[in-house]
Amino acid sequence: MDGSGTQPRAAMIVIGDEVLSGRTRDANMWHLAKRLTEIGISLREVRVIADDRDAIVDAVRTLSGAHDHVFTSGGIGPTHDDITADAVAAAFGAPIGIRDDARAILEAYYEPGALNDARLRMARIPEGAELILNPVSQAPGFTLRNVHVMAGVPAIFEAMLDSLRPRLAGGPPMLSHALRAPLPEGEISGPLGEIAAAHPGVSFGSYPFFRGGLGTTLVARSTDRAALEAGVAAVRAMCLALGAAEVQETPPA
C-alpha cells in the first residue's frame, strides 16, 4: 500500500544526455515530485532517457497508457538534438508543424529579423495540443492528450509547471507525519512491519540518520487523516516502548 488512495497517477520522462553523462544534476524531478505531492497527484515512476527519438516515443506510449498524467522535461529548444516535440507527436500519430499561435508568441518576443529557422522550430506544435505558456523565454511547451511537454532549463520548467497548474486536478492531498527517534533502524523494523500490516491505508517509510547521533526518521503518509493519526499513534507507542527518550514529531501542515 502506498497510501495514495484515489489520487491521480503520474509519470515523468526526463530527456537529456547531459543528465545521463553526469554533466548536469537533474533538478526538475525533485521539483515536480514536491509540487505534485502538494497538488495531490501521485508520482509513480520517472524515466531518464537519452536524446533519442525511439526512446522518447517508446517511453511516451508506455507511460501515457499507464498513468493519468505524463510530464516531460527537456529537448524543446532550437538545436538539432531538440527532438521531443516531434517524438511526442509521433508517439500519438499526430501531425506536427509550425503553429500560428506559437509563432505569434515568438514574433512578439524576438527583435525583427532574429526569428531564424532554428528558433522557429520552437513553434512546432502537434495538432490538437494546448500550449503551456513560458513567461521566462516565451517559447511554449504543450499538452498533447495526457502528456505535458516542458523545457529542461529548471527556471523555465518551473515557470511552465506554474502555467500548467490550473489545468491539473489533484486528488485528496497526501498528508505526511514524521517522527524522529534515537533508535537504530534495525531495532524498529520488526515492530514497524507489524504496524504497517495493521494499517493498510497508510505507507510507512524508515530512514536511518547518522548525524547528531544515530537514529531513524519514520514517515507515515496517507490521504486519510484519521487513518494517518491511528498509524502515527502506533508508531509513537512503539518508539516509547523501545526506550526512546524523545521523539521529535513533524505533523502534517
Q: Is 180 in the site for a copy of itself (CB under 8 A)?
A: no
> How far apart are the C-alpha atoms of 41 and 217, rounded to whole Å?
24
Which window, 90-98, 180-188, 224-232, 239-247, contacts a copy of itself (CB under 8 A)?
180-188
Q: Is 77 in the site for a copy of itself (CB under 8 A)?
A: yes
Closest to a copy of itself by CB, 30 vs 127, is: 30
Half-sphere exposure of 114 (CA within 13 A, CB side): 7
Q: Is 37 in the site for a copy of itself (CB under 8 A)?
A: yes
With b for 16 or more beta-carbon neighbours within 10 A and e for fewer, the 123-149 pattern comes to bbbbeebeebebeeebbbbbbbebbbb
Q: Is 158 in the site for a copy of itself (CB under 8 A)?
A: no
3-state class of 169 per DSSP? coil
Footprint of a copy of itself on 186-205 (CB under 8 A): 186-190, 192-193, 196-197, 203-205
Q: How many residues does the chain have?
A: 253
> How far apart are the C-alpha atoms of 207 and 62, rounded to whole Å?
32
Q: Is 2 in the site for a copy of itself (CB under 8 A)?
A: yes
Q: Is the dihedral of CA 49, 55, 56, 62 positive or negative?
A: negative
> Quick one: which of 41, 56, 149, 174 contacts a copy of itself (CB under 8 A)?
174
Q: Is 47 in the site for a copy of itself (CB under 8 A)?
A: yes
> Quick one: which of 7, 41, 78, 93 contacts a copy of itself (CB under 8 A)?
78
Neighbours of 204 (CB within 10 A): 20
DSSP secondary structure letter of residue 98: E
User: What residue ranges bind a copy of itself (CB under 8 A)?
Assistant: 2, 17-26, 29-30, 32-37, 43-50, 52, 55, 77-82, 114, 116-119, 121, 153, 155, 174, 176, 185-190, 192-193, 196-197, 203-208, 210, 219, 221
